[in-house]
Structure 1
């Protein structure tokens, strides 16, 4: 019994001594938010938590992002390509599922949020464009279609789920257009626009359809001679297309990545397991406002209800981080364009996590119920052990150990790609031939800050992205 107690005490210290993901990565994120990217890279390299195999995807995404912020575009894509390969090869496995069942989701391999996968394509494409590798950027644009199809298949084209990413489709159109492929550019722009048009309130996860996107749909329809499509979208958008003269120096697409993505924290829920009128097992909370079916893949329906009086479950929640700037404009000295929000990662994070609450909570609660039933069975065996005091004490200690382990090991998975921006906005700005001096004006509660951008007008479509990660 003494040895059992010592073992349990060690277990308590082990489980209680595990700091949260956010706490263990705090040094890295602090350097990122302060713009100290070299120091952030050093912090990242020496972080033991991110070096663990289960966090390899997170490590690669963070390395890719940090290198991108430093302007090391080739290195950035080396890491993003490795992350891409991991996702393509699949991160699921029987052993991984067993670990999650016996311990908690935090001990499983991190598989990435759906919107994080699209963001890998965004940064890879930008890196290729910065490096002048337009053919590789076009390949990345095509891969956005594959990612979109995979996402669409995942939710069987459900309009109320994150089955497409309007921003990625719009980006795809821009890349095709920069390569002179106005036919595929129109298709991509049209697909992005229809994501908005097919939604119930004509918005998509915190964004309304940018006017720039509408103009791109009409312009490329006109360039392709698609008169019926032009007329259809003029009616849908509510305005007539007016062709504008092309600028000699081409145009620049300015992306503004504002703020940082929300972080995950742990929250607690308390449920009871009951049998419904049709005889099936259902978890319900104290107020009776949540009902979640028992997941039979973790166990059968003949579980002893007496053993599962109350279950404490943990689930992650997102916490948004304040943004220093609220809007931005870009000017070339003659024309000023307002940057329009085109991707709201804050909104995506909150809503996609809520959408999968019932499914994931069902797995969590069923796993806890199975653990609770095992604990109850061991304690019941201890009572039946009769006169054998040693066996009785051992079983009681084991039952207590299972109870303590279940309580202390239960943790929500609070991992996520936290150096993503909170929002992305963009604008088109015309360029003159030769050197152009642009001004990006960032507006916040304390006034306006200016960023000077120098670009050489070549007659082509160019790209620039700027991050304000605070």
Structure 2
């Protein structure tokens, strides 16, 4: 009994144990190391890192194909890139639903025991990069040029079908009446915790519902192939999505929408038969009459590296006097990482509202009142007895570690990007797509469900261990040791799913320029907030009415040993 009393009154000791356990959990994933190698031009070493850590047949096989597909794209191995991205696309389609057995395994063992199926916004990006690959292959081939261009349009049609389905699904759905797939014990825990993690106003309107950027790229490619009606439809869908909320959600400037409207005007004038629509667009754009069409150059600058998902840990304990569960963050890592973890916790979980502070004050816990931003108190109230009945409170006698993901605050490294043509500055590029914000908003959107599932998983493990201990018939003194030991074991096995497509850029910048046919030296000058200027140049041959040039700009590169850009 004295042993139990000792441990109950020294939760700080268990926290120290958890911190020591975390010392072996902070490591850079292979795909982050790979893209950092690629940033320095070490592509073969980068690909080897992916092959070593991500099997083509394992639970993380999707990352094997996504990362190698992107690395080959950056190298200019377009055919091989498409072969790999085709495999990735097939895996995503096959893993559209997670099997009940995998879900059950994840509840007991952790999310990394499930097959990684990617994020909802990955599929459009696969089609995007495959289309760019096909256009590059078309530029390199005279005989098969049209076949490659047609293949790029196939990607856009597949993308359109996918986005149509996405809009149907996100137009308003409710999973409350759907089977949960959880066992009875987990369902009981979820019933106790479900009201405690309901989304708040912070999480409104951050769902990935459509992709205006993908529609726009589709329109450009259709226009390039002179399929004007398809181009018109995609431009209209892009405008509708941008103005309907995509631009606000992902911080896209109005200049992008104005450019798409000019493109829409151009294709409708060329196609004919849209007199009233053309008149209205001219009025919107303050254009009095049609202008003579001339060649245009579309520049897409894929810039930086997307943010990395990291693991965030919390200590969960039961406060019997207050009849509440209490979560406290276990800050770990560098000072910058600890600050990011604290901000993430404060933003999503901490007791920062007046109601929460009142709850802490009412329990007489002055420490929590003073440190409200560093704790999450979960008053169980009338459902406390339910928690006691199923053994939840007893199982938390020595606490439990909960692991979820977080993202560090996004750093603004880019001041502006300029495009120069033949040594003359022509325009600045504008952000048209933000993978960083997509990743952040996806993480925020899933944060409540992620912590609730993680909480349920650790409680199921604790309850299962307690039942096993009770079945052994140990006396109270030794059962206390056993409970403490199982708490430590459960802490070791707790983990969050940090898998992601790491080689994606942080954002895509864009500009469209009128240009004459012939050879031109195109230079991008990327000005960083540090004062550094990164220059990239290429001589291109403009032969068509619609031309694309895309490049990947790494912000910390020291050398480039392979092609860093693609003229299409």
Do the two structures share a fold, i.e. TM-score over 0.5? yes
Query: 1:300-324, CA deviations, whole angstroms, 9 ceiling, x for partnerless residues?
Result: 9863342354543211112367565
Change beyond 3 A, Cα 1:197–1:53:
same
- Other-structure match for 1:418: 502
Alpha-carbon deviation of 1:150? Answer: 3.2
Query: 1:234-275, CA deviations, whole angstroms, 9 ceiling, x for partnerless residues?
Result: 67x56447643223xx33221101111000111123456899
- Other-structure match for 1:28: 34
How many Å separate the matches in 2 of 1:186 and 1:282? 56
Alpha-carbon deviation of 1:76? Answer: 0.5
| Alignment of 1:303 onto 2:390 | yes
SS at match of 2:495: coil
- Other-structure match for 1:404: 488
From 81, 85, 97, the counterpart of 1:80: 85
Query: 1:328-383, CA deviations, whole angstroms, 9 ceiling, x for partnerless residues?
Result: 2223347813222110111111111101112222222122222222223333444x
Change beyond 3 A, Cα 1:355–1:324:
closer
- Other-structure match for 2:267: 220
SS at match of 2:207: coil
Q: How many residues align?
A: 436
Moved more, 79-88 or 103-112: 103-112
- Other-structure match for 2:4: none
- Other-structure match for 2:121: 115
How many Å separate the matches in 2 of 1:449 and 1:419? 20
SS at match of 1:440: strand
| Alignment of 1:153 onto 2:159 | no
- Other-structure match for 1:314: 403
From 141, 145, 152, the counterpart of 1:137: 152
Query: 1:60-87, CA deviations, whole angstroms, 9 ceiling, x for partnerless residues?
Result: 0100100011001001001000001111
- Answer yes or no: is the 8 Å Cα contact 1:292–1:358 preserved in 2: no
Q: What does 1:255-274 align with in structure 2 at a 5 Å threshold?
A: 255-271=300-316
Q: What does 1:38-437 align with in structure 2 at a 5 Å threshold?
A: 38-45=44-51, 47-50=52-55, 53-90=58-95, 92-132=98-138, 133-157=148-172, 160-199=206-245, 203-209=248-254, 210=256, 211-224=258-271, 225-231=273-279, 239-240=286-287, 243-247=290-294, 250-271=295-316, 287=351, 288=356, 303-309=390-396, 310-319=399-408, 322=411, 325-333=414-422, 336-382=426-472, 384=473, 402-437=486-521
Alpha-carbon deviation of 1:233? Answer: 5.0
Moved more, 90-99 or 19-28: 19-28
- Answer yes or no: is the 8 Å Cα contact 1:253–1:429 preserved in 2: yes
Moved more, 210-219 or 253-262: 210-219
Gaps of 5+ in 2: 1-17, 139-147, 174-204, 328-348, 358-375, 381-385, 556-568
- Answer yes or no: is the 8 Å Cα contact 2:31–2:67 preserved in 1: no
How many Å separate the matches in 2 of 1:253 and 1:338? 13
- Other-structure match for 2:537: 452
- Answer yes or no: is the 8 Å Cα contact 1:35–1:469 preserved in 2: no
Moved more, 429-438 or 84-93: 429-438
Change beyond 3 A, Cα 1:126–1:371:
same
- Answer yes or no: is the 8 Å Cα contact 1:32–1:419 preserved in 2: no
- Answer yes or no: is the 8 Å Cα contact 1:21–1:415 preserved in 2: no
- Other-structure match for 1:8: none
Q: TM-score, normalised by structure 1?
A: 0.81
SS at match of 1:53: coil
SS at match of 2:59: helix
Gaps of 5+ in 1: 1-11, 276-280, 295-299
- Other-structure match for 1:469: 554
Alpha-carbon deviation of 1:34? Answer: 1.7
Q: TM-score, normalised by structure 2?
A: 0.68
SS at match of 1:456: strand
What is the root-mean-square deviation in Å for CA atoms of aligned residues? 3.5
Query: 1:102-146, CA deviations, whole angstroms, 9 ceiling, x for partnerless residues?
Result: 211123221112222221111111001111111011010111112
Change beyond 3 A, Cα 1:57–1:175:
same
